[in-house]
Structure 1
Amino acid sequence: MGLGGSIPPEIGNLSFLVSLNLSGNSLHGYLPKEVCSYNNLPRLKELQLSNNSLEGEIPLSLGECPQLEILALSYNNFVGHVPVQIGNITSLKRLRIYDNNLKGTIPKEIGLLNKLELMRLGFNELSGAIPNEVGNMTSLSDLSLSNNSLSGPIPSTIGNLSNLKHLVLRFNKLNGPIPSAIGNLLILESLYLSSNKLSGELPYSICKLSHLSYLLLSNNTLEGRLPRCFGNFSGSLTIFHLNENQFSGIIPSTFSKNCSLLSINLGSNKFHGQLPKSLINCRSLRGLDIGNNKIQDKFPFWMEGLPELRVLVLRSNKFGGNMSLPSRTKFLFPRLQVFDVSHNEFQGTLPQRFFNNFKAMIEPVEIENDYFLDDLEMRLFLKGQDQLIKRLLETFTVIDLSYNKFNGTIPPSIGNLKILKYLNLSHK
């Protein structure tokens, strides 16, 4: 609907009202303090006002809604603090106030909501520490506080949330180590801690999280070796991003035959050794980025037959040898759109057979929606500068063979790549 104007205070007179849903309109002005105050709306269980243009502070009177189970105020222009009085709504099961302009700290009284199953306060301007009292909310299944300015450590009490499936804390200023208590979250499926200031080594207890599907720890200062169990996770993991950290050692070599990984990004770390050949078990893999490490290996010809691979970034490592060797694979990289092997030590002639077989660069390949596209992160050198790419379109095609030791001529077969957008063959 397209309702406009403000919410009339007389709405508080509807003493038998159980559900009020005004989401997706063009309402503006303040949320009237008459909502729930002075015993108004005593039966109200749902208050859904998302996707409007409401403004002002969230009224303290919401703490007087004794039966309220769902409170949804997302995608508005609310300002001020998260009211302490929200802790009084002990029947609350779902709390959504993301994408507003809230400031201040998360009140410790939030821990009184022990029936709460979902709390999303992301995309605000909240600051301060995550209160330890969050650990009292033992019914929580979904906790999202992303895109704020939260600081301090991740509280170890978060390990008390045994029902938690989704933990999203990315794009904050959280620091310190990942607490070992994270291993208590045995049914956790999503762990998003990217773009914080987390440091230290990964706790070995993370190996207990056998249901993880999304693990995103990129853009922190985490260090040390990866636990070998990460290879064993490949049967459940779909997104595995640890890029922009200080991890070292070798990449785990135990990717299982039931590998379900769609995207692996280990770029900009200190990994060394060889690229594990067990990655061939990941038949659904869409993207692999191990750029800016210390990997020393030959070109992984064994990856040519991966049927879904669209992004292969090996830049700035110590790969070497000849890329123009004969291949036994009939269809080489049939869906590849991004091929970056720049800043390595490859030699010999340019790999003409790739130019003959990069079908996704010869004609557009339709890209269906999948999880890989939602969480894509890769760094490429385009238009003279380092760029972070977060979305892969079907017309985005790149070949970068620059800063290697290739010789000879540019083969005419490069003319087959009719939809190639970026080609870099430059040299020192």
Structure 2
Amino acid sequence: MHSCCARKIIVWILCLIFSLSHSILVCGSSPPKHLCRQDQRDALWEFKSEFPLSGMAADEKTQTWRNNSDCCSWDGITCDPKTGNVAELNLWGSSLNGPLRSSSDSIGDLKYLRVLGLSGCNLFGKLPSSLGNLSDLTVLELDGNGFTGELPVSIRNLKQLTKLLIASSKLSGNFHQALLNLTELTAINLVFNQLEGTLPSNMSTFSKLEYFNVGSNSFSGSVPSSLFMIPSLTYLNLERNHFNSLLEIGNISSPSKLQTLILGGNRLSGPIPGFISKLVELSSFDLSFWDTLRGDVDFSIFLHLKSLASLDISTLNTRSIVDMSLFSHFESLSILSLSRNTVKFSSTLHLVSPIGSLAVASCNISEFPKFLRTQTSLFNLDISQNQIKGNVPAWLWSLPGLAYVDFSLNSFTGFDGPADVFQRNEIYLLDISSNAFKNPFPLLPKSITFLSASDNQFSGEIPTTICQLDSLETLVLSNNNFSGSIPRCFEKFNTTLTVLHLQNNSLFGKFPEESVSVALISLDVGRNQLSGELPKSLINCTHLEFLNVEDNKFNDTFPFWLRLLPGLQILILRSNEFHGPIHYPGVFLSFPRLRIFDISKNLFSGALPLDYFSGWNAMSSDVYIADNKYMFKRNTFSSFNIASKGLEMILAGISFSIYKTVDISGNRFEGEIPKSISLLKGLIVLSMSNNAFIGHIPPSLSNLTNLESIDLSRNRLSGKIPAELRKLTFLAWMNFSYNNLEGPIPQGTQIQTQDSSSFLQNPGLCGAPLHKICSGEEQGTLNQDKEDEEEEQVLSWIAVAIAYVPGVFCGFIVGHILTSYRHDWFKRIFHYFS
């Protein structure tokens, strides 16, 4: 019996071993099977072939794709393990660089995609309608590209879509009505685009929406109350648009889950609505730039928001005073922005919640707030634009987390404590500009990356202790009394310093070649006494956008090598001793992004070829598109002079992005005015005065339809003033004096408003505004000009009439029909059209 059982057990074990061995052999001998389907691989390969950089080192993800390999193993590709269909295409941050071609169905053929992620891939052009073929898509993520135009109508087919993320692009048009069909959406992010119009009133159709961000667009009208009726919504950002009506919200039926509400930077006005007190889950709230029309604000509505961690109520335009004691009992408040209101601090103020960031710029504060002494969590303090005098207290630097400090635009004169008082902290940003600080220059912690000490009373040589700052990226010392030379130790910042502004001091000597950082984006050493040649090491600054060396003693030829800097936008060499030609045969001087070119008041000479201004693309467009990341957020540190409308004016701030200027006046140029100047259609200021130009004024200057100021005075120009210049309706100032011009002055509105001084010392000129009467033949030309102008005006009136008469006729017919029906029919029609 026992031996029989033993035999059965042995047989069973042997069968089991044989079975396992067979399985192992079968598995081990089976050839590998590709998971990827052929049609899916073909679609991906076609998608890759659309981009010329695919397969190159610049496109580090798709270069791993091989047509004979399993596409499910390719970088950025995820497949459904059961079907082999490509379920996810995610190439975030790769360098595809091109359009998603509407003529290609490669994207549309990946019809089983659930996730399409192409953020930051340098894509541009319109979004292809083939996206609508991806009916299974749940996530569409295209942030940080250059897509233009509207969303395709076919997007309405993406009924499964839960996340639509196309932030930081160039989409235009209205908020697409097709989106209202996508009821599964939980997140919409269209921030930083060029969208406009109004938001739909029925936003509550997004019944599952949790995240909605359309900030930094151009939406206008009212904020739809239906947004606040979405029960799932937790994040709502409408900042920096043009919403302008009163914010009116009906009764909120269920407790709101809204945790983030950002409305700042719009045109909202009137009383702050009381319904805000019902948003009890809010942790982040931004009402900045709300206009209360100088009304009173009941700040007690914020007391109900006990979960607040961040509050921005800066720039309310209210006569009410913000009492800091209002925030005494908030337990979670960490970020508080009250700038540009009147703020009151009591001497016994105590805040329960540790403040991490406090902004009280321009709040009529005259004393340093003492309650800050207990704020050991403070890392950011903006107390700029107030009336605080005396010294900065030493105890401030004992706050262990303090990292970002802005004291600018006050009346501080010094720092309390020992010379190394700053060494106790790791300060990253320090702005002490526009005060009355004097020597000694403070010893700064090595951690500083941003230092602005402009517009003070520091003197002597630039302290070499600055060279001990290991991580310095921005250094602004303009408008002080510094003297001596630029420190050679600046070579330490060869790869870190991006902004160096030393404008308006008394620095002299040569600019050391080794002190030029290859990382420079903005360099301003204007209004000093620097001499010698322009440092040629600037040729290595491939990111340079702004270069100003005005009002120095540089003695050099024209720096042709600057044309190799692809991002250069502002070049100012005025008032130096530069000399020689600005053109050499065979050297094509193309500045594709240059918008301000000022080489006036130098010793440049020679003739300019007719095509000299060809290839200056940024000035050839009458639209400005900010295509840089740095300059216009740093331009507040710089200013420079330009000649416009016969006056010297200072450009600073927003003016940098508005003006497009060519000023070559005050040199020794000769020959004819290059006809290619007429290609610069975006030009606002043109000055070519005080040279030796000959020949006629090009009639093609009438192409410069944005021109506001033109100065061709003090040359040797001859012939007539072109009648075509009458078309320049923005031209507010012109100067043709001291030339050899002749004939009648054209009879145009802009021309006739000029003072006679604009035409003096041209012996052959006649007609208003000069007192010289034209001869018979000249008068005939003058009359013909006048007739031409009147004919243009008549044609304009005829065009208006042609449009007006049918409108009046249609209006009459509609009015007759409406009055022919009963009153209720009128109401129905009115309701339909409204």
Q: Is the 8 A contact 2:612 2:676 kept in 1?
A: no
Q: Distance in 1 between matches of 2:327 and 2:617?
A: 60
Q: Distance in 1 between matches of 2:330 and 2:420?
A: 27
1:153 pairs with one of 414, 420, 424:
414
Q: Distance in 1 between matches of 2:656 and 2:364?
A: 34
Q: Could you give the per-residue CA deviations for residues 229-283 of structure 1, whole angstroms, max 9, x where no partner exists?
A: 3344242222222212222222131267x82221111111111121100000011
2:372 aligned partner: 110
Q: Does residue 712 of structure 2 align to residue 424 of structure 1? A: no
Counterpart residue type for residue 631 of structure 2: F
1:399 aligned partner: 662
Q: Is the 8 A contact 2:589 2:612 kept in 1?
A: no
2:602 aligned partner: 344
> Offset of 1:5 from its aligned partner?
5.4
Which structure has the bigger radius of gyration?
2
Change (3 A) 1:71 1:388: same
SS of the residue corresponding to residue 583 of structure 2 reads coil
Q: Does residue 487 of structure 2 align to residue 227 of structure 1? A: yes
Between 1 and 2, higher relative CO (CA 8 Å, sep ≥ 6) is seen in: 1
Change (3 A) 1:143 1:318: same
RMSD: 3.5
Change (3 A) 1:334 1:84: same
> Offset of 1:139 from its aligned partner?
1.4
Q: Distance in 2 between matches of 1:291 and 1:421?
A: 21
2:431 pairs with one of 146, 151, 168:
168
Change (3 A) 1:371 1:322: same
Counterpart residue type for residue 375 of structure 1: R
1:286 aligned partner: 545
Equivalences for residues 19-418 of structure 1 within 5 A: 23-24=286-287, 28-29=296-297, 31=299, 46=309, 48=311, 50-51=313-314, 52=316, 56-59=320-323, 61=325, 65=329, 70=334, 72-75=336-339, 77-80=341-344, 82-86=345-349, 91-99=354-362, 101-107=363-369, 110-147=372-409, 149-154=410-415, 156=419, 159-170=422-433, 172-177=434-439, 179-182=441-444, 184=445, 186-254=446-514, 259-328=518-587, 332-350=590-608, 352=610, 354-364=612-622, 366-376=625-635, 377-390=639-652, 391=654, 396-418=659-681
2:239 aligned partner: none
Q: Which one has the bigger helix percentage?
A: 2
Q: Is the 8 A contact 1:140 1:161 kept in 2?
A: no
Change (3 A) 1:73 1:425: closer
Counterpart residue type for residue 301 of structure 1: F
Counterpart residue type for residue 166 of structure 1: L
Q: Is the 8 A contact 1:46 1:69 kept in 2?
A: yes
Change (3 A) 1:420 1:49: closer
- Larger deviation: 66-75 or 258-267? 66-75
Q: Distance in 1 between matches of 2:420 and 2:318?
A: 35
Counterpart residue type for residue 152 of structure 1: T
1:14 aligned partner: none
> Offset of 1:305 from its aligned partner?
1.7
Q: Distance in 1 between matches of 2:481 and 2:373?
A: 30
Q: Could you give the per-residue CA deviations for residues 11-34 of structure 1, whole angstroms, max 9, x where no partner exists?
A: 9xxxxx9977554167743656x9
Change (3 A) 1:75 1:6: same
SS of the residue corresponding to residue 614 of structure 2 reads helix
Change (3 A) 1:125 1:7: farther
Q: Could you give the per-residue CA deviations for residues 199-250 of structure 1, whole angstroms, max 9, x where no partner exists?
A: 3322111112232222222222222222123344242222222212222222
SS of the residue corresponding to residue 479 of structure 2 reads coil
Change (3 A) 1:348 1:133: same
Q: Is the 8 A contact 1:94 1:116 kept in 2?
A: yes
Q: Is the 8 A contact 2:366 2:386 kept in 1?
A: no
Q: Is the 8 A contact 2:285 2:308 kept in 1?
A: no
Q: Is the 8 A contact 2:554 2:578 kept in 1?
A: yes
- Larger deviation: 381-390 or 17-26? 17-26
Q: Distance in 2 between matches of 1:318 and 1:26?
A: 52
SS of the residue corresponding to residue 240 of structure 1 reads strand
Counterpart residue type for residue 29 of structure 1: V
TM-score (norm 2): 0.44
Q: Distance in 1 between matches of 2:461 and 2:415?
A: 14
Q: Could you give the per-residue CA deviations for residues 69-99 of structure 1, whole angstroms, max 9, x where no partner exists?
A: 525142452244x444457768332222234
Q: Is the 8 A contact 2:518 2:540 kept in 1?
A: yes
Q: Distance in 1 between matches of 2:474 and 2:688?
A: 36
Q: Could you give the per-residue CA deviations for residues 44-70 of structure 1, whole angstroms, max 9, x where no partner exists?
A: 884725244565555464695595652
Q: Distance in 1 between matches of 2:625 and 2:352?
A: 48
Q: Is the 8 A contact 1:232 1:254 kept in 2?
A: no
Q: Distance in 2 between matches of 1:296 and 1:276?
A: 11
> Offset of 1:373 from its aligned partner?
1.3
Counterpart residue type for residue 151 of structure 1: F
Q: Is the 8 A contact 2:558 2:580 kept in 1?
A: yes
Change (3 A) 1:71 1:97: farther
Q: Is the 8 A contact 2:388 2:412 kept in 1?
A: no
Change (3 A) 1:320 1:403: same
SS of the residue corresponding to residue 285 of structure 1 reads coil
Q: Distance in 2 between matches of 1:114 and 1:320?
A: 59
SS of the residue corresponding to residue 407 of structure 1 reads strand
Change (3 A) 1:68 1:217: farther
> Offset of 1:343 from its aligned partner?
0.8
- Larger deviation: 289-298 or 130-139? 130-139
Change (3 A) 1:157 1:299: same
Q: Distance in 2 between matches of 1:174 and 1:30?
A: 38
> Offset of 1:291 from its aligned partner?
0.4
Q: Is the 8 A contact 2:487 2:515 kept in 1?
A: no
Q: Is the 8 A contact 1:50 1:76 kept in 2?
A: no
SS of the residue corresponding to residue 467 of structure 2 reads helix
Q: Distance in 2 between matches of 1:263 and 1:86?
A: 43
Q: Distance in 2 between matches of 1:209 and 1:378?
A: 28
- Larger deviation: 283-292 or 346-355? 346-355
Counterpart residue type for residue 407 of structure 1: E
Q: Percent identity?
A: 27
Counterpart residue type for residue 347 of structure 1: S
> Offset of 1:312 from its aligned partner?
0.7
Q: Distance in 2 between matches of 1:84 and 1:248?
A: 49
Q: Which one has the bigger strand percentage?
A: 1
Q: Distance in 2 between matches of 1:339 and 1:322?
A: 16
SS of the residue corresponding to residue 465 of structure 2 reads helix
Change (3 A) 1:65 1:363: closer
Change (3 A) 1:168 1:351: farther
